[in-house]
Amino acid sequence: MSSLTDYLWAFLIGGAICTVGQVLMSLTRLTPARILVLFVTSGVVLTALGLYSPVVEAGGAGATVPLTGFGYALATGAIEGAKTEGLLGAVTGGVKATAAGITAAVFFGYLFALIFTPKTKK
């Protein structure tokens, strides 16, 4: 039964984050790119304030998969790097923490560009 509630919380928290994004796109003149930057920045700021960690604990993948989770990973890596390596660790820690995700995005983006024919919007 515990895993069922974990799935439910992940769905609710991830859905809430996505709903915020949809509301921003529907009710404001913000472009999707600006909303993406806003989400990553929000994840960093909320993590720095200690407010996003409880959301991650409650929502699991529902909180770490959206772009706010990428900001969370950047901030967490920078904080850990700063604790262990000082100022240089604060700069490199976020990159180390997110390197696997960034590598996967670049690799699969390249792979799909080879498999499929990309087209521009008209």
Distance CA 115, CA 87 (A): 42
Q: For residue 109, what are its two tokens?
A: 């983006």
Q: Return d(Cα 31, Cα 80) in angstroms, integer.
A: 33
Q: What sign has the CA pseudo-torsion 65, 68, 72, 78? A: positive
Tell me, what's the pLDDT at 21?
A: 94
pLDDT of residue 119: 76
Query: Look-up: residue for tokens 């991830």?
Result: 14
Contact criterion met (CB below 8 Å) for 63 and 13: yes
* Alpha carbons 101 and 61: distance in angstroms, whole number: 14
pLDDT tens over the chain, length 122 residues: 588 999 999 999 999 999 999 999 999 999 999 999 999 999 999 999 999 999 999 999 999 988 999 999 999 999 999 999 999 999 899 999 999 989 999 999 999 989 998 777 77
Structural Rg of the chain based on CA atoms? 17
